[in-house]
Chains A and B, each alone.
Chain A
Amino acid sequence: MKRQKMKPLAGLRQTYCLGAVLALVVCGGPTLRGAEPQKPVRVLILSGQNNHDWRATTPALKSLYEKSGRFAVDVSENVPALEGKDFAPYDVIALNYTTYPKVKGHRWPAATEKAFLDYIAAGHGLVLFHAASTAWNDWPEFANLIGLTWEMGKSGHGQHHSYTVRIVDREHPVTRGMSDFQHLPDELYHRQLLHATGHVLATAYSDKTRGGSGAQEPMVVVTELGRGRVFHVAMGHDVRSMRGAGFQTLMLRGTEWAATGKVTLPPANCVLRDADSLLQGIAGYRYGQSRGGLAAVERLVGFAGDAASQQALAAKLAAMLRGKASPDCKKFVCQQLSLIGSAAEVPILAKQLADADLAFATIAALERIPGDEPLAAMRGALGSAGVKMKCQLILSLAARRDAQAVPRLAEAAVTPDRELAEAAITALGVIGGSQAARALAAVETRLPASLRPRLSDALLRCAQDLRATGHDDEAAALFEKLCDPGLPGAVRIAAFLGRAGTAGGKADALVLSALSGVDPALRVAALRALRADPRDSLLGAVANRLDSLAPDVQIQAVTLLQEHGSATALAAVVRAARGKIASVRPAAITALGSIGDAATVGVLTSLLAAGDTEDQKLIGESLKRLRGRDIDTAMIAALPAATPPAQCELIRALVAREAKPCVAALLAAARSGDAQVREEASRGLGKLAGGADGVRVIELLDQAADRSGLEAALVAIYRREGNAEPVAAALAKASGPAKASLLKVAGSLGGLAALAAVRDAMKTGEPGIRREAVLALSNWPDAAPLDDLMAIAKTTDDAACKVLALRGVARLAPMAGNRSPEQIVELLGRAAALAGGTDALKSLMSALGQVPSAAGARLVATFLDDPLLVDEASLAIVQIAENGDIPNRAEVIRALARVMATCHSPLILARARAVPTRPNLARGATATNPDGLAADGEAGGPQAAIDGNFKTYWDEVDGEKLYQLRVEMKRPAVVARLRITGYRQHNFAPRDFDVLCDGKVVKQVKNARYVNNVLTVSLPPTTCKAIDLKITGYYGGSPAIRELEIYGPEQ
Chain B
Amino acid sequence: MKSAKNTISRRRFLKRASAAAAAGVAAPMVLPSRSPGATAASNRVTVAHIGVGGQGGGLLGGFLGVAQGQSVAICDAFKSRREAAARRVDEHYTAVLGQGSYQGCKLYADFRELLARDDIDAVVIATPDHWHVPIALAAVRAGKDVYVEKPLGISMDHDKAMRAAVHRQGAVFQYGTQQRSFSRHCGFACELVRNGYIGQLKAIDVVAPSYGAIGGVPDPHPVPEGLDYDMWLGPAPVAPYTRDRVFGVGRFHIYDYALGFIAGWGAHPLDIAHWGYPFIPTEYRGTGFIPTEGLFNTLAAWNVEGRYASGVELSLKDGPDSTTFVGSEGRVTASRGSISAAPASLLKVKIKPDEIHLLQDTHHYRDFIACVASRKTPVSNIDSAVQSDFISHLGDIAIRLGRTIRWDAERETIVGDETALRMMHRSLRAPWTL
Residues of chain A whose beta carbon lies under 8 Å from any beta carbon of chain B: 161, 164, 166, 180, 205, 207, 209-210, 287-288, 290-292, 294-295, 298-299, 301-303, 305, 310, 338-340, 360-361, 363-364, 367-368, 370, 388, 391-392, 394-396, 398-399, 419, 422-423, 426-427, 430, 457, 464, 468, 488-490, 493-494, 497-498, 520-521, 523-525, 527-529, 531-532, 551-552, 555-556, 559, 563, 582-583, 585-587, 612, 614-615, 625, 627, 934-937, 956-961, 1037-1038
Q: How many Å from the CB of A501 to the closest CB on chain B?
A: 9
Query: Given A563-B376, A961-B211: A521 and B36 within 8 A (CB)?
Result: yes
Q: Is the CB of A960 within 8 A of B340?
A: no
Q: Is the CB of A552 within 8 A of B40?
A: yes
Is B374 in the interface zone, CB < 8 Å from A?
yes
Is B429 in the interface zone, CB < 8 Å from A?
yes
* Residue among B2, B42, B170, B293 making CB contact with A493, cutoff 8 Å: B170
Distance, CA A1021 to CA B374, complexed state (A):
65
Q: Is the CB of A555 within 8 A of B41?
A: yes
Is B310 in the interface zone, CB < 8 Å from A?
no
* Residue among A180, A287, A498, A960 making CB contact with B402, cutoff 8 Å: A180
Distance, CA A587 to CA B291, complexed state (A):
56
Distance, CA A711 to CA B41, complexed state (A):
44
Top 5 A-B residue pairs of the complex, sorted by shortest distance between their CB atoms: A490-B143, A528-B170, A489-B36, A957-B337, A520-B35
Is B167 in the interface zone, CB < 8 Å from A?
yes
Q: Is the CB of B238 within 8 A of A360?
A: yes
Cβ contacts under 8 Å, B211 to chain A: 961
Cβ contacts under 8 Å, A367 to chain B: 425, 427
Distance, CA A396 to CA B292, complexed state (A):
30
Cβ contacts under 8 Å, A936 to chain B: 337-338
Q: Is the CB of B2 within 8 A of A302?
A: no
Q: Is the CB of B36 within 8 A of A210?
A: no
Is B433 in the interface zone, CB < 8 Å from A?
yes
Distance, CA A585 to CA B422, complexed state (A):
54
Q: Is the CB of A368 within 8 A of B336?
A: no
Q: Is the CB of B289 within 8 A of A527?
A: no
Q: Is the CB of A958 within 8 A of B336?
A: yes
Binary contact track B290-319/A, C-beta < 8 Å → 1, others 0: 111110010000000000000000000000
Q: Is the CB of B429 within 8 A of A360?
A: yes
Query: Given A489-B143, A494-B169, A497-B170: A958 and B37 within 8 A (CB)?
Result: no
On chain B, the number of residues with a Cβ less than 8 Å from chain A's Cβ atoms is 65
Q: Is the CB of B292 within 8 A of A583?
A: no
Cβ contacts under 8 Å, A388 to chain B: 430
Is B7 in the interface zone, CB < 8 Å from A?
yes
Cβ contacts under 8 Å, A586 to chain B: 1
Q: How many Å from the CB of A297 to the closest CB on chain B?
A: 11
Query: Given A288-B219, A524-B36: A396 and B427 within 8 A (CB)?
Result: yes
Instruction: List which B411-434 residues lie within 8 A (CB) of chain A.
Output: 418-419, 422-423, 425-431, 433-434
Distance, CA A302 to CA B425, complexed state (A):
17
Cβ contacts under 8 Å, A468 to chain B: 164
Summed over the interface, the residue pairs from A and B with CB atoms below 8 Å come to a total of 188
* Residue among B1, B219, B287, B297 making CB contact with A291, cutoff 8 Å: B297
Q: Is the CB of B402 within 8 A of A303?
A: yes
Is B32 in the interface zone, CB < 8 Å from A?
no
Binary contact track B202-228/A, C-beta < 8 Å → 1, others 0: 000000000100100011100000000
Q: Is the CB of A524 within 8 A of B1?
A: no
Is B62 in the interface zone, CB < 8 Å from A?
no
Q: How many Å from the CB of A261 to the closest CB on chain B?
A: 31
Query: Given A399-B428, A527-B375: A959 and B337 within 8 A (CB)?
Result: yes
Is B109 in the interface zone, CB < 8 Å from A?
no
Candidate in B169, B292, B431 with the most chain A CB atoms within 10 angstroms: B292
Is B38 in the interface zone, CB < 8 Å from A?
yes
Query: Given A391-B431, A395-B430, A957-B337: A583 and B1 within 8 A (CB)?
Result: yes
Q: Is the CB of B320 within 8 A of A960?
A: yes
Is B342 in the interface zone, CB < 8 Å from A?
no
Candidate in A422, A427, A552, A937 with the most chain B CB atoms within 10 angstroms: A552
Contacts A426-B431, A490-B169, A957-B336 known; list 5 others, CB within 8 Å: A205-B289, A360-B238, A364-B237, A399-B428, A524-B37
Is B403 in the interface zone, CB < 8 Å from A?
yes
Cβ contacts under 8 Å, A161 to chain B: 292
* Residue among A164, A392, A587 making CB contact with B430, cutoff 8 Å: A392
Closest chain A residue to B339 by CB distance?
A: A934
Distance, CA A388 to CA B430, complexed state (A):
8
Is B278 in the interface zone, CB < 8 Å from A?
no
Closest chain B residue to A453 by CB distance?
A: B116
Is B335 in the interface zone, CB < 8 Å from A?
yes
Q: Is the CB of B293 within 8 A of A210?
A: yes
Closest chain B residue to A360 by CB distance?
A: B237
Q: Is the CB of B434 within 8 A of A399?
A: yes
Query: Given A521-B37, A524-B37, A532-B167: A364 and B293 within 8 A (CB)?
Result: no
Distance, CA A290 to CA B426, complexed state (A):
25
Instruction: List which B30-56 residues lie within 8 A (CB) of chain A.
Output: 35-38, 40-42
Distance, CA A488 to CA B35, complexed state (A):
11
Q: List 13 A-B contacts (CB under 8 A).
A: A209-B214, A360-B429, A368-B425, A396-B427, A399-B425, A423-B431, A494-B141, A555-B40, A559-B375, A627-B354, A957-B335, A957-B338, A958-B337
Closest chain A residue to B376 by CB distance?
A: A559
Q: Is the CB of B6 within 8 A of A551?
A: yes
Q: How many Å from the CB of B416 to the closest CB on chain A?
A: 11
Distance, CA A419 to CA B432, complexed state (A):
12
Is B61 in the interface zone, CB < 8 Å from A?
no
Distance, CA A303 to CA B401, complexed state (A):
7
Is B400 in the interface zone, CB < 8 Å from A?
yes
Q: Is the CB of A582 within 8 A of B2?
A: yes
Cβ contacts under 8 Å, A497 to chain B: 168-170
* Residue among A207, A457, A524 making CB contact with B141, cutoff 8 Å: A457
Q: How many Å from the CB of B310 to the closest CB on chain A?
A: 28
Candidate in B141, B164, B240, B434 with the most chain A CB atoms within 10 angstroms: B141
Instruction: List which B340-399 residues lie within 8 A (CB) of chain A.
Output: 340, 353-354, 374-376
Distance, CA A515 to CA B110, complexed state (A):
36
Q: Is the CB of B41 within 8 A of A587?
A: yes
Cβ contacts under 8 Å, A521 to chain B: 35-37
Closest chain B residue to A366 by CB distance?
A: B427
Q: How many Å from the CB of B375 to the closest CB on chain A?
A: 6
Q: How many Å from the CB of B221 to the closest CB on chain A?
A: 12
Closest chain A residue to B340 by CB distance?
A: A934
Distance, CA A209 to CA B239, complexed state (A):
23
Is B142 in the interface zone, CB < 8 Å from A?
yes
Distance, CA A943 to CA B153, complexed state (A):
46
* Residue among B40, B293, B423 making CB contact with A339, cutoff 8 Å: B423
Cβ contacts under 8 Å, B433 to chain A: 395, 398-399, 426-427, 430
Q: How many Å from the CB of A110 to the closest CB on chain B?
A: 46
Candidate in A527, A556, A627, A936 with the most chain B CB atoms within 10 angstroms: A556
Distance, CA A207 to CA B300, complexed state (A):
12
Q: Is the CB of A583 within 8 A of B7?
A: yes
Q: How many Å from the CB of B367 to the closest CB on chain A?
A: 15
Closest chain A residue to B423 by CB distance?
A: A339
Q: Is the CB of A368 within 8 A of B422?
A: yes
Q: How many Å from the CB of A143 to the closest CB on chain B?
A: 31
Q: How many Å from the CB of A741 to the closest CB on chain B?
A: 33
Query: Given A363-B427, A422-B431, A494-B168: A523 and B38 within 8 A (CB)?
Result: yes
Q: How many Å from the CB of A329 to the closest CB on chain B?
A: 15
Query: Given A295-B290, A627-B354: A302 and B170 within 8 A (CB)?
Result: no
Q: Is the CB of B427 within 8 A of A339?
A: no
Q: How many Å from the CB of A173 to the closest CB on chain B?
A: 24
* Residue among B118, B289, B431 making CB contact with A395, cutoff 8 Å: B431
